[in-house]
Amino acid sequence: MAPLRLRHPNGTSTIQVALDSDDFTVGDLQQEIYGITQILPSQQILKSGYPPQSLTLIPELPISSLGLKNGEQIIVSQDTSAARRAETRASASTRALPATRSELLSLLSGSTGTGAVASTTQSSSTAGVNGPDFVETDTGFLIHRVVPDDNSCLFSAVSLVFEQGIEKAQQMRQIVAEGIKKDPETYNEAILGMTPSKYIETITKPSTWGGAIELQILANHYRTEIASIDVETGRVDHFSPPGDSSTNRCILIYSGIHYDAATLAPTVDAPNDWHESIFTVRGEDKVDPVIKAATKLGGLLRQKKAFTNTSTFDLKCEQCGKGLKGEKEARAHAAATGHVKFGEY
């Protein structure tokens, strides 16, 4: 990960991005900037270099297409003419357009999106024919532990690995709230996308999803790395306590819209209290046996199409019936029509 400095209308910020990754796109960068500035991707003007030159923004291309360097400064401004056009097109709607994946998913149920997400879509996780999916290891079986698809999946999955059950999912939300209160310098309005008090009010509601911010706070609280396996891509996202010196980690499985957990048991049908959920870090991802097994488990789920790609999934506008492909077309349709309620085929 490499730092990029942002100079924007609200001040200055620093973000960490994977400049050499083909999986991190220009669109992903724009979404990061949106989260800090609240300037819609379609209205962003980005400049870098000296003298500053406008960057050509093609959302689908990898971030390497921009030629950015480690530590480089990006000047962010808003295309006010584009903003006015968007406001005119959306004048029939009293809600904000779905500018982010979070907002789009919240529109699937017609709910109000803020910084986190409310979801009514079904879990993409699938179990094996006779039980949960699993991968055999030298010391047992790494088992896919499915948690309910009830808008608290992240908190349930974290509760399962740290508290041996999903019953303390709401307590995980309170830990996040306390983490934000205790570290206002890190978790400020620019990072949260809203005032800390508003974010706390939102994230403590059972109907609200969590994401990277919540995983980092929970990793800090338990002083244990949370490794999240992305089913679709096989990517491993590491959320490590300060100093990145944790010797322990746990495993979550992410389907694109849902989090589950993975735990190690001596047999596939072992009682829950026999499962090991915290593991000793044993090296880089390529050699760590638990990460290797978790990646293999993610591949097994990928073969079963147990993930949701929000860029390509099929949607239907529930106000006019128009069929749409992915969040990009949904955003464009909402901008053009003011329609803000979608369903997934």
Q: Considering the chain, tell me which residue range(s) the CATH 3.10.20.90 domain(s) occupy.
A: 2-85
Convert the pLDDT of each residue in 258-315 to its tens digit.
899 999 999 999 999 899 999 999 988 889 999 999 999 999 999 998 887 766 677 7
Residue 313 CB partners (closer than 8 Å, separation 6+): 325, 326, 344, 345
- Active site amino acids: 150, 153, 258, 339
Second-level CATH architecture of 2-85: Roll (3.10)
pLDDT at 88 over 60: no
Strand positions, DSSP E, the chain = 2-8, 11-17, 44-48, 53-54, 73-78, 134-137, 140-145, 225-230, 236-239, 248-254, 259-265, 279-280, 314-317, 323-325, 342-344
Q: Considering the chain, tell me which residue range(s) the CATH 3.90.70.80 domain(s) occupy.
A: 134-303
Selection from 7, 16, 8 nearest residue 70 by Cα: 16
Convert the pLDDT of each residue in 189-239 to its tens digit.
888 888 999 999 999 998 888 889 999 999 999 999 999 999 988 999 999
- The model carries a pTM of 0.61
Residue 286 CB partners (closer than 8 Å, separation 6+): 292
Sign of CA dihedral 62, 64, 66, 70: positive
Pairwise CA distance, residues 28 & 278, whole Å: 31
The CATH code for residues 134-303 is: 3.90.70.80
Work out the number of other CB atoms within 10 angstroms of the CB of residue 18.
15
pLDDT at 345: 60
